[in-house]
Amino acid sequence: MTLQLGDTAPDFEAETTLGTIRFHDWLGDSWGVLFSHPKDYTPVCTTELGYTAKLKDEFAQRNTKVIGLSVDPLGDHHGWIEDIEATQGARPDFPMIADADRKVSTLYGMLHPNASATTTVRSVFIIDPQRKVRLTITYPASTGRNFNEILRVLDSLQLTDQHQVATPVNWEPGDDVIIVPTVSNEEARERFPEGWDEQRPYLRVVKQPQ
């Protein structure tokens, strides 16, 4: 299955390190980041999970829940958490799905047979409170993800939803943004009374709304 942006994220029930969850119920009214790991006790994954644990407050500020997945069984997950805490200085307190039957991996297209017949690729899905897929990124197993980029995308998506703006190349929170083309100048004057820099009719740059 290939999930595309705007699709409804598939619901599922799964065993995790924090008990059995029903995914949509677990999300509640939060945003979600679902990310897969090729295998337990692997070095790159260990660094990723430790760093994600250190970002707990950052995700909370964005009303976002994080959940990991690996195709190894639950017992391995619990043992691996001890290693993560010992080597990375942070203990993951978010759920990690034990997907030994590869049910969730298949639902979300995390298995790429030409890359590996037995393990998942490094997939990331950002899912909004309406259960819609808003971002997908797939990395090879050998490349660790940039979780600062995932936070940046969350900021961009949430800003867009609230203020009908888009974020330009290399945007960071606090930088100028762009008024989306679907917003007329009349509506823009109501939304942005301090005005904007109209570089072209389709390129209207404005200070980031607070």
- 153 in Cβ contact with 63 (< 8 Å): no
Active-site residue, selected from the candidate residues 45, 141, 179, 206: 45
Report, in this order, helix, strand and coil percent for the chain, each rounded to 5: 30, 25, 45
Calculate ∠ Cα 158-161-165, nearest 5°. Answer: 95
- 124 in Cβ contact with 87 (< 8 Å): no
- 60 in Cβ contact with 31 (< 8 Å): no
pLDDT of the residue at 115:
57
Three-state DSSP class for residue 123: strand
- In the chain, CATH 3.40.30.10 covers 13-144
CATH domain 13-144 topology = Glutaredoxin (3.40.30)
Burial class (CB in 10 A: 0-12, 13-18, 19+), 92: buried
pLDDT of the residue at 113:
61
45 annotated active-site: yes
pLDDT of the residue at 139:
87
- In the chain, CATH 3.30.1020.10 covers 164-206
Q: DSSP string covering 98-115, please?
A: E-TT-HHHHHTT---TTT
Mean pLDDT by runs of 10 across the 210 residues of the chain is 90 96 98 91 94 97 96 91 97 94 89 61 91 93 91 97 96 97 96 96 95
Answer whether 0.85 is exceeded by the pTM: yes
64, β-bridge pairs: 31
Please tell me the CATH code under which domain 164-206 is placed: 3.30.1020.10
Half-sphere exposure of 200 toward its Cβ, with a 13 Å CA cutoff? 4
